[in-house]
Structure 1
Amino acid sequence: MQISITAETPLEKRITVTVPAGSVEEEVTQRLRQKARSARLPGFRPGRVPMAVVERQFGADVLMEAFDHLINETYFHALQEQSLRPVGRPEIQVDSGGRGQDLIYTAIIEVYPDFAPQVPAGAVTRQSAEVAESDVDATIEIMRQQRRHFVSVDRAAQEGDRVLLDFSGSMDGEPLPGGSAQDYPAILGGGRLLPELEGALTGLRAGAEKDVEITFPEDYHQKEFAGKTAQFHLLIKDVAEPQLPEIDAAFALSLGIEDGEVETLRREVRENLEREARRISEMRLKTQVLELLIQGNTPDLPRRLIAQEVERLQKEAKEAGTQVPDNAEELARRRVTLGLVMSEIARREQLRAERQEVAKVIEEIAEQYEDPEEVMTWYRRNPEQLGEAEAMALEAKVVAWVLERVTVTDEPVSFNQLIGREPVGAVNA
């Protein structure tokens, strides 16, 4: 077998392989003999068909089968001999071949770039937060708000109240399409209504009616109304104020605390917040590390990988019901760069995701669900999900390897600062 390689670009290769005529004839002959043993043709007993008849009947098909086998076999041998790592499947074209002739074919491939990953001299910040009692209190208060109910009151509506109303809108004397409703519930201050409409409802009691003129914002989501003025007639049918559940045994039981103890609830809330704090801290640290790797490496990028990432971005946008980002190709290039750099670090440093590391990743994912054991079992039995967990474990190992080679500064922050409720550096009065 003879192999010659030409480079169309740094990553695009044309591999021309010549398989000797003798090897072609040997493969064809072997396959014809197999056909002769199993062929069933009229006038001949099984296994007694003359070779000339077998060749006449099956020769063309057998030659193609032989070509396929020899191409597959020699292509992978050529890759190993030339130390090439292809991206995806090759484009194969047969240049010449036949009985008594050399088989000459060309495989056109893209290969992964050969480069040495760089870890630039840089610094990253590891933010960490202690969970305070006030953080536990705030979280429980959110839980109370989520379980609030409304009770009708005989007073004027104010912020936080739920108003039940009928409304009808018109524009230029004509009914506004989709601008009418009955028994429509709205929380004042909830942001679902236009500010002018909320302002008109505030201060009204049940039974009150009011006409109000509303100008739609220039960036209103229904373009045909943007910037235009409409008239609305409002009828208030009910005003109800929110009531929150007491923090007691019933409240704890409603949240799945089996013993109904408020202290057990607080302990579980604290553990969840601490787990979330660790997750966010690790995520932010990892994001900085990955950005360092992207900025510090500029390998040649296979066009096929970029195209695949663009397709993935398009699929993600479709599933989320959003527009494909205008900078989709730039984002794809960043993803491909990062994937290549991390894969090359893992390959060169012989980093592997150990079984216990994968198990830890699955356990951390499962902790976020109501039945962790069921989730862990599902991951173990699902090869695709297990593969994702292995990739996450390997990524964590690469990040840890990088962190040993950059400057890490620890920065204690409040829990609210860590989760983004409060800007870092803010001073509480």
Structure 2
Amino acid sequence: MRGVERGFLVGVARDGGDADWPTEESLNELRQLATTAGATVVGQASQRLRAPHPRTFIGAGKVAELARQRAEEGIDLYIFDDELTPSQARNLESELGAKVIDRTGLVLDIFGQRARTYEGRLQVQLAQYDYLLPRLTGQWTHLSRQEGGVGARGGPGETQLEIDRRRVRSRIADLKRDLDRVRQTRGLHRERRASQSVAMVSLVGYTNAGKSTLLNALTGAGVLAEDKLFATLDPTTRRVRLPSGREVVFSDTVGFIQKLPSSVVAAFRATLEELGGADLLVHVVDASHSDAFAQADEVDSVIASLDLVEKPVITALNKIDRVADDWPPQSLPETIDRLRESRDNAILIAAANGRGLDDLLLAVDRALAEDLDALVADIPYVEGHLVNLWRTRGSIETEEYQADCVRVVGRLPRNLLHRFERYRVRVPNTRAGRRGTGSRSR
């Protein structure tokens, strides 16, 4: 970026619009996005409209007002809170005499800065090229934004001034093929984990809800965790041992945000497909945020759009330490109490200082245990590796050491039962034994 750009935010309040996201709150989030991208926000304006103007999105009078402000305040960049059509962006740039980007372009700029892995960069580039393609014109004048600055980094780069639609489409096709290979590799990894009966827990949530902080607190993963929107973009997986002794994999995913176009979500399909292979979702909510309800609902909408509504969910109400001085908190703001009551399996946590994590892991343990079958087995000492397998893939209630074997009572994933079948026993007086069948054979 050529120095710090001075940005001005523009929003539109539509009659009958989304009551969950008042214009002022949406502009506050846009301000955070602009700051994350590296711009300095010098002001903002909004206009109430029945419908966006087809030529300039906002009315002609508001355009003229913004043009006057540009000369007075030295504005380099106008950032619109809604997605602009290519023609609207060009017309606005012509009349305002400054660079114009929309919320989607701003988010893609941040993605370009944050992507670190090969997969992450592929997904960002695909989203940016999809965004660029309809905005190409024969004159190329509107592509001056590609020379640098907010809305222009981390993706296709400066050579875009020299490319044409055919080359962009060719590049999109190449990226999709590369991402298909990534998806296939991820699918193989999921199949291997499934064959080993390693359960997957995926962290989901609105951007900056604290997912990376939670993963770090649980695993010491060392994932970048900053108080910024989209501080992390690339998925991270780490093993976690639950209170029962069972080992599972926790996966962090890209955060969601309102007004994110479906085309951008589609570009991140390789990452989001990990959610489809999850055995459990942990929905991390910034309970201290004034828009916690709306943010949680937005994540629910994305989960529904990915056909994941049947997945079991635990809600981790995070950052409770920002609204309560004691732990466990004796009293909470009414909004948090209502949020907790509105969600099944809601757990209070403060990931930054490690509070509530034991309760969260217990809840995860209980939720995953529902997919385990009860078993009692007498395992010979020479088969000690089977006991270790049981400890890491299932849960053990008791171990009784006998003369030639250890009697284990507990639960195991169904696809591992055949490994223990020859040692299965019936013990009528134990809960696990009542569900067992057959007797031990050697």
TM-score normalised by structure 1 residue count: 0.18
**Which structure has the larger Rg?**
1
Higher RCO (Cα < 8 Å, 6 or more apart): 1
